[in-house]
Amino acid sequence: MSLVQHLPALQVAVPLLAAPLCAMMVRPRIAWLFATLAAWATFAVSLAIFHRVLDRGLILYEMGGWAPPLGIGHAVDPLNALLLVLVSGMAAIVMPAARPGVGVEVAPRAQRLFFTLALLALTGMLGIAITGDAFNLYVFLEVSSLASYALVATGADRRATTAAFNYLVQGTIGAMFILIGIGLIYMMTGTLNMADMAVRLREARDTAPVQAALAFIVVGAGIKFAVFPAHVWMPNAYTYAPSLVSAFFGATATKVGAYILIRFIFNVFGVDFAFGEMRIGWALIPLGLAGAFVGSLVAIWQDDLKRMLAYSSVAQVGYIAAAIGYANRDGLIAAIVHVFNHGLMKGALFLVMACVILRLGKADMRSFRGLGRRMPVTMGCFVVAGLSMIGVPFTVGFISKWYLVVGALDAGLWPVAALVVLSSLLAIVYIWRVVETAYFREADGPRTREAPAMLLAPTLLLTVLCVAFGVATEFTVGVAGSAADMLGVLP
């Protein structure tokens, strides 16, 4: 057995073992350095896994040599390989920026615990993505959620504590619903392995527990995924959390919810059952579009720009939900590509907020006045990532919107396609407000300069990736296409 074969186990083990070690490092600087190295090592592992998956398709890993369904197995296909790269990649990019970014927002004594929590949240998300066992998925979900609640509460504003409490209450209800769903499936199939469940469910699908299980899992994952109207926890949590936490979670946390939804609907329950008999498309598409409009409209009126970005996330999550609801290949490609692309752009935009907060103390409209001249690089990043949010060609946002529209037309839902385009116009309004304030208003605040290179470099890197993946589309679309093929939707 070589190390390469154990990569799926290392994917979760590296950040999990690094977390308690990090808690023992008293000096904040050492803790940060250690957490950064751990994040990079995790990213390297996920790249290696990704490479192997593209090479040979599905990777199955038996934990401790116990073969599933008796043992717990990891299963990696192109869908979760891409998610692993996104989650660990965001951690690897955001973690180095944490030193200057967190320095002003978290007390030095608490910083090592902050990095410990970040590593635990990373562990949980990677675990959800990689595991092939439904109950294991629930446990990892709680690992990442508990770490997230605590991370949100580390925000400097006292409202961070109430935001974290509401997040905890709603997140726990979501997790409980997923747990009930898994229990009901276990009741009917006697297995917890997801691949095994899928096979056995084919005979048991017409029973009430299985139908209830689908409902519970869709609602539970919907809460974690912040689909309208279950998005209420998100705006406050992302507004009052430290900016780097918002950047990391904005890019990854809701995406993991999307993954749970896709995995259960397409793999475990199957397209015929979920969309043919239970018609969940009729729930996902209207709610997704409602979220897209409500999120974008509310974003327009926000004065706090972190809150604006959080509401914009409600809208983007809506697009992903609607795209899943199309139940065709282009729709699934749109959902998977948008999970990845929105991660890049929202990460970049929240990092811009981190730069501004570091220099000016807060990120409201007033502090953005004249910022185009005072922080040209930061604002340049905002403009590029903002254009991507709108969906301008040659950015990642365009690729997502393209497949969103094509998928809707493919499903014969032309009004949906029209509404997607219409709601994208709302994004122009909320991005333009900021651009106008930054470039055409006179500055009246204190003099300032660019954020330190440690924070600016990751922001720039994510912005460049927004354009790079928008021009070289074969990579994301190709992987999403092969993931969609493995999920068994008809072309």
By C-beta, is 135 or 293 nearer to another protein? 135
Among 146, 337, 420, 438, binds another protein (CB under 8 A): 146
The distance of closest approach from Cβ of residue 212 to another protein in the complex, given in angstroms and rounded to an integer, is 11
Phi-psi bin for 363: left (phi > 0), alpha (psi -120 to 50), beta? beta
- Does the protein bind another protein through residue 176 (CB under 8 A)? yes
Among 27, 159, 366, 373, binds another protein (CB under 8 A): 159
By C-beta, is 306 or 374 nearer to another protein? 306
DSSP 8-class letter at 73: E
**CB under 8 A: which stretch of 144-152, 339-347, 352-360, 418-426 binds another protein?**
144-152
- Does the protein bind another protein through residue 5 (CB under 8 A)? no
**CB under 8 A: which stretch of 7-15, 37-45, 171-179, 434-442 binds another protein?**
171-179
Structure tokens at 106: 């978290």
Q: Are 339 and 129 in contact (CB under 8 A)?
A: no
Among 40, 135, 293, 394, binds another protein (CB under 8 A): 135
How does DSSP assign 330-389, residue by residue? HHHHHHHHHHHHHHHHHHHHHHHHHHHHHHHS--BTGGGTTHHHHSHHHHHHHHHHHHHH
Q: Are 336 and 484 in contact (CB under 8 A)?
A: yes
> Dihedral, CA atoms, 64, 66, 70, 75, nearest 10 degrees?
70
- Does the protein bind another protein through residue 23 (CB under 8 A)? no
**CB under 8 A: which stretch of 87-95, 163-171, 246-254, 454-462 binds another protein?**
163-171
Among 17, 44, 180, 486, binds another protein (CB under 8 A): 180
- Does the protein bind another protein through residue 153 (CB under 8 A)? yes
- Does the protein bind another protein through residue 164 (CB under 8 A)? yes
- Does the protein bind another protein through residue 169 (CB under 8 A)? yes
DSSP 8-class letter at 263: I
For the chain, what is the radius of gyration of the CA atoms?
A: 21
- Does the protein bind another protein through residue 197 (CB under 8 A)? no
- Does the protein bind another protein through residue 186 (CB under 8 A)? yes
- Does the protein bind another protein through residue 128 (CB under 8 A)? no
Query: Between helices 7-23 and 111-130, what is the axis angle to 10°?
Result: 160
**Which SS3 state, helix, strand or coil, does residue 217 take?**
helix
> Dihedral, CA atoms, 208, 210, 213, 215, nearest 10 degrees?
-70
Residues of this chain that interact with another protein (CB under 8 A) are 135, 138-139, 142, 146, 149-150, 153, 158-159, 161-162, 164-165, 168-169, 172-173, 176, 179-180, 183, 186-187, 192
